[in-house]
Amino acid sequence: MTTYLNFIDGEFVQGSGPTFANHYPVTGEVIGEVSSAGRAEVDAAVGAARAALNGPWGKMPVAERVALLRKLAAGINARFDEFLAAEIRDTGKPASLASHIDIPRGAANFNVFADQVLVTGTECFEMDTPDGRGAVNYSIRRPRGVIGVICPWNLPLLLMTWKVAPALACGNTVVVKPSEETPATATLLGEVMNAVGIPRGVYNVVHGHGPDAAGEFLTTHPGIDGITFTGETRTGEAIMRAAANGVRPVSLELGGKNAGLVFDDADLDAALEGIGRACFANSGQVCLGTERLYVQRGIYEQFCEALAEKAKGFAFGDPFAKTTTMGPVISAEHRDKVLSYYAKAKAAGAEILAGGGAPEVDGFNGGYFVQPTVWTGLSADAAVVTDEIFGPCTHITPFDSEEEGVAMANASPYGLATSVWTSNLGRAHRTAAQIEVGIAWVNSWFLRDLRTPFGGAKASGIGREGGIHSMEFYTELRNICIKL
Ligand SMILES: NC(=O)c1ccc[n+]([C@@H]2O[C@H](COP(=O)([O-])OP(=O)(O)OC[C@H]3O[C@@H](n4cnc5c(N)ncnc54)[C@H](O)[C@@H]3O)[C@@H](O)[C@H]2O)c1
Ligand SMILES: O=C/C=C/C=C(\O)C(=O)O
């Protein structure tokens, strides 16, 4: 039984909030407990972060800070297997996935933003003045301060370091609230922080739930200077309300109901491979994933059949087994939510091409597994076509013209990402520009260059992170005007 403690001012401490069980999604067993932070610990964490900001971290030369960030990346890689095991304990995802994406990106985020901060400049404007002597304006960047980092459970280490790395690179200090479902890697990172010599108080972790618990205690704390959040749109609304008190800036990466568009001139094998990942990777629990597919009439039947075959080909089981290609979803509650949508699709008269329920997984009866599922035949207002399910499922609708396909893709309050498949160059540019999203992939999915702007349009978020855009959020620009 592992006990996850809060990490405050460089030390692991019990919280005064309730202790709750940590389940292994692969078996449903309780394998740990989480000591949640009460108001007192959140207060202590924010205080420690403030002291570090005003103390050693704030005074540290950039080169030294950058060297420490690189040590953090190396420190994660040096304990790669422990991070991998921790992420799998929390999420049950296959080791083949976590070892290629979650852990390497967790480390890479620190290197990427160590590089970025070194090449991030500011602005300078010369101006005329009536006396003819002129003035010069230049801006400087300063850390925003103490940043509250609220994280989801789907890619715990990757999404947390995606925020913590640029925040630290810019000289801020952080208080992280990991998802209550996934406390492990954020806690383990505390050990690495101490081991590489990050000053105490720079990185703090408070555990617990959201409403009326550690999450809310943190976002409403007056000592927080900015909040960065990844999670559901409704939670984003609550966080934005909390941030309004004191006029604190927010960066919100929220939910989606992403459309994939496959034209009949697409390379079908490539499209199937990419869309297969977009629908089913991480058991469909990727914010960028595709839950609405629109396929041009000429290849519709063929594509539906091939994607259904792909859906039927996944193997569940032990995440460490090489043969396992799909893990469980995060929790019993989330499994029930996904299955409730499977039931809604059936009741609405969907044609179920693959899946549609929960599989029997030999030896893992208590695991939170759901079948990869492909539906057709529902109208645009059916719940599984409009709502973010966050499961391994997708609904396919045929379309005829390019205009119709784009209009279908845009028929959603969300606008996070899209994946368009075509071999027509003009159509690729046109459709990618017309779909109202923050991130459009053409003939690919989840191909990430970390210098690019990342975030959502419409109800999928506010602000962009990545590259210079992270620098913009995690620093305050100050203009200095000098009369000559
Ligand atoms: N846009 C993106 O980049 C992106 C990336 C990953 C996940 N997501 C989204 O995240 C969701 C899945 O993650 P989730 O279920 O963990 O999201 P969630 O919104 O339920 O929880 C996210 C975090 O917010 C905390 N929280 C909840 N209520 C709070 C409150 N009132 N005040 C402060 N904190 C609160 C939770 O404890 C958790 O740490 C999906 O909607 C998915 O699309 C978006
Ligand atoms: O589930 C959402 C995945 C988000 C991915 C990133 O934030 C990233 O690749 O930086």
Q: Which of 455, 413, 448, 418 is nearest to 433 (CA)?
A: 418
Encoded amino acid at 476, one letter: E
Encoded amino acid at 275, one letter: I
ipTM: 0.95
Ligand 1 centre distance from Cα of residue 229 (Å):
7
How much is the average pLDDT of 311-321?
A: 98
What is the reported pLDDT for 65? 98
Choose which residue among 101, 102, 111, 159 to substitute to test ligand 2 binding: the one with the highest number of ligand atoms within 8 A of its C-beta.
159
DSSP string for 362-390: TT-TTS-----EEEE---TTSHHHHS---
What domains appear along the chain, each with residue ranges and CATH number? 2-254+460-483 (3.40.605.10), 259-442 (3.40.309.10)
Query: What value does the mean pLDDT of the chain take?
Result: 98
Percent of the chain exceeding pLDDT 70 equals 100
pLDDT in tens, 132-177: 999 999 999 999 999 999 999 999 999 999 999 999 999 999 999 9
Kindly report the backbone phi and psi dihedral angles of residue 418, in degrees, each rounded to the nearest multiple of 5, phi listed first. Answer: -145, 165
Per-residue pLDDT band for 99 (boundaries 50, 70, 90) equals very high
CA 374 to chain centre: 24
Residues with CB under 6 A from ligand 1: 150-154, 159, 177, 179-180, 209-211, 215-216, 219, 230-232, 235, 238-239, 253-256, 287, 388, 390, 416, 456, 460-461
H helices of 281-356, in order, are 300-312, 332-347
Per-residue pLDDT band for 236 (boundaries 50, 70, 90) equals very high
Inter-residue contact 214 to 205 (CB < 8 Å): no
pLDDT in tens, 25-40: 999 999 999 999 999 9
Q: Which of 459, 299, 477, 443 is nearest to 388 (CA)?
A: 459
Provide the strand spans (E) within 311-447. Answer: 351-354, 373-376, 393-399, 414-415, 417-421, 439-442
How much is the average pLDDT of 331-353?
A: 98
* Helix/strand/coil for 168: helix
pLDDT in tens, 242-286: 999 999 999 999 999 999 999 999 999 999 999 999 999 999 999
Query: What are the residue numbers of the active site?
Result: 253
pTM: 0.97
Query: For ligand 2, atom 6, which residue shows the shortest CA distance?
Result: 159
pLDDT in tens, 357-396: 999 999 999 999 999 999 999 999 999 999 999 999 999 9
What's the rounded Cα separation, in Å, for the pair 263 and 440? Answer: 15
What is the reported pLDDT for 297? 98
pLDDT in tens, 55-94: 999 999 999 999 999 999 999 999 999 999 999 999 999 9
Per-residue pLDDT band for 470 (boundaries 50, 70, 90) equals very high
pLDDT at 1 over 90: no
DSSP assignment letter at 298: G
